[in-house]
A and B are shown apart, each in its own frame.
Chain A
Amino acid sequence: MKLTETDVRYVANLANLSLTPDEIARMVTDLGGILAQMDRLAEIDTEGVEPMSQVLFQADHTATLRPDLERAPLGSEVAVANAAVTSGGYFKVPRVIER
């Protein structure tokens, strides 16, 4: 199936990614080539095979939870220290809801 610029724009929007017109054109070619490789998976018979979403060993190796103990949190000052814009110890973002 042929990938179009419309498809690329649609997916870029889902991915919250702005692309330049040049990048969109290139993405059509690159993704098209890669998807052609990926389409080969249709050849292989997976009837009755359970999907593998995680590497799992015996349950006692990985199906473990840590004890639910209280730990000191980072604290809001440290947590927002890397933010682009902060205000009063909070992350600040552009206005979302108009008055």
Chain B
Amino acid sequence: MKQHTVESIRTDLLRKTFSAVEFTREALAHAERENPKTNAYLLLAPDRALTAAEQVDEKIAAGHDPGRLAGVPVAVKDVIVTKDMRTTCGSKILEHYIPPYDASAIERIEAAGGIVIGKTNCDEFAMGSSNENSAFGPVRNPVAPDRVPGGSSGGSAAVVAQGTAVISLGSDTGGSIRQPASFCGIVGVCPTYGRVSRYGLSAFASSLDHIGPFARNVHDAAALLEVIAGRDPLDSTSAEAPVPQYTAHLNEPVRGMKVGVPVEYMKHATGDTAARVNEGIESLQSLGCEISEISLPSTDYAIACYYIIATAEASSNLARYDGVRYTSRSADSAALSGMYQHTRGEGFGREVKRRIMLGTYVLSHGYYDAYYLKAQKVRALIARDFTNAFQTVDAIVAPVSPYPAFRIGEKVDDPVAMYLSDIYTITGSLAGIPCMSVPCGATSEGLPVGLQILCNHFDESKMFRLAAAFEKR
């Protein structure tokens, strides 16, 4: 399965090498066989997938265009709702939740001929950096099974790296697509805030949440973004800006492109990760990019800023899981207040409880100004750093994570250390700019390293062009 790409599948379908139904059957069987190695899929959807595949075959037989993603097996992170298909958000509280509608991104994928084959494991409500916070068990990294795949979209990264899907959807609030992409050695994209509709994405931190693609190459990631991007009347924050054909410009030269390297990031980077990223920067230079040092002076405050804003928004968004509408209700529900408290106390996992508590604390009377309002001001400074930088450079490159995939269990008891590892990814999230991880070699132990590319709002075309040139280096 690993050799297939979006374009090769389309070609094979049109040449009748195989039909969409045959290919989907094979993909489902392969995923079912391989999944015990990683625990990346929570659910496979043979009925839905085969129905969609039949429609692709019918279109081809009738001589119609089968769509941009014709016959391509797509996996979907289980925080994105799928009609009549269980959607758990990795949480016990939603163990039996069957959504009555599809997310807009899912509708667009299926309209383009893509085949939704299953739902992937993730940290509970997308809160985590290792996929160890799932109520349904951790995911193993297909590259190194004793290690985490990253998080929170660990399952969506693992299935693409493992070859049990060709592309997948993840969600990124503070690095949850880029970091697992780097840990698993694949491409992961967090688009501009508002580029992809969030309708049907279970809300974690609404001002920071993004849906974005995983793929084994830059072209496939760009193709998937082309399909899911664009204005959606059902998400008032989705952008009106036209969606360029990203894949049409991937081969354009990058000579003369101005690329900035933030000093504040590189001073923390050590070991093999720093070595690979520095080699990556040298490759960009030999491709003709003009490399310069830049400064993003507010970087040191980004972790605190992010964890205040994200948890504050989460504490509000997760209030809806109260024992009334979403399947679970505690047996200890004689009184209304007890129903709320026990349902939530029994249904949420440790990290989610921690974040609800933090978010409630920073929003509570007497602390709002010192924490939440202050964090919003610092967020403006972080965004301003990027605005200033993009006056002199076209793109910024940096590490994705300070270290490669770590061992399962290694950091699970130290929330502060886990939060600090998000330093390179959360700044871009706070600014709402597009950013991605592209494979950048491996450590001496063979663990993948990612290079992060960040561009200005709606500059995904430029970002993909640089990533494609880097991929071919």
| Residue ranges of A at the interface with B (Cβ–Cβ < 8 Å) | 7-8, 11-12, 14-20, 23, 27, 30-31, 33-35, 37-44, 46, 49-55, 57, 60-62, 64-67, 74, 78-85, 91, 93-96
Whether A84 and B324, one on each chain, are in contact in the complex, defined by CB atoms closer than 8 angstroms, is yes
B residues 425-443 with Cβ under 8 Å of A?
A: 431-432
Closest to A17 in B: B344
B residues 323-358 with Cβ under 8 Å of A?
A: 323-329, 333-342, 344-346, 348, 350, 353-354, 356-358
Stretch of B122-130, B180-188, B297-305, B389-397 contacting A (4+ beta carbons < 8 Å): B297-305
Chain A residues within 8 Å of B348, by CB: 17
Roughly how many angstroms separate A50 CA and B233 CA in the complex, as a whole number? 29
Stretch of B36-44, B105-113, B236-244, B444-452 contacting A (4+ beta carbons < 8 Å): B236-244
Roughly how many angstroms separate A83 CA and B320 CA in the complex, as a whole number? 12
Whether B328 and A34, one on each chain, are in contact in the complex, defined by CB atoms closer than 8 angstroms, is no
Whether A46 and B381, one on each chain, are in contact in the complex, defined by CB atoms closer than 8 angstroms, is yes
Whether B377 and A49, one on each chain, are in contact in the complex, defined by CB atoms closer than 8 angstroms, is yes
Chain A residues within 8 Å of B353, by CB: 17, 19, 23, 27
- Interface contacts (Cβ under 8 Å), in number, total 179
Q: What are 13 A-to-B residue pairs whose CB atoms are below 8 Å?
A: A14-B360, A31-B354, A31-B357, A31-B358, A41-B371, A43-B301, A51-B377, A52-B383, A53-B376, A57-B241, A60-B240, A61-B194, A93-B324
Whether A17 and B237, one on each chain, are in contact in the complex, defined by CB atoms closer than 8 angstroms, is no
Closest to A38 in B: B304
Judged by a CB distance under 8 angstroms, whether B457 is at the interface is: yes
Cβ 8 A contact of A64, one of B236, B298, B373, B380: B236
Tell me the interface secondary structure of chain A in the complex.
Answer: loop
Cβ 8 A contact of B374, one of A46, A80, A91, A94: A46
Judged by a CB distance under 8 angstroms, whether B378 is at the interface is: yes
Interface size on B, residues (CB 8 A): 79
Whether A94 and B364, one on each chain, are in contact in the complex, defined by CB atoms closer than 8 angstroms, is no
Whether A93 and B325, one on each chain, are in contact in the complex, defined by CB atoms closer than 8 angstroms, is no
Roughly how many angstroms separate A8 CA and B101 CA in the complex, as a whole number? 38
Roughly how many angstroms separate A33 CA and B231 CA in the complex, as a whole number? 41
Contact string, B203-230, partner A, CB cutoff 8 A, digits 1/0?
Answer: 0000100000000000000000000000
Chain B residues within 8 Å of A42, by CB: 370, 374
Roughly how many angstroms separate A38 CA and B312 CA in the complex, as a whole number? 13
Roughly how many angstroms separate A81 CA and B84 CA in the complex, as a whole number? 11
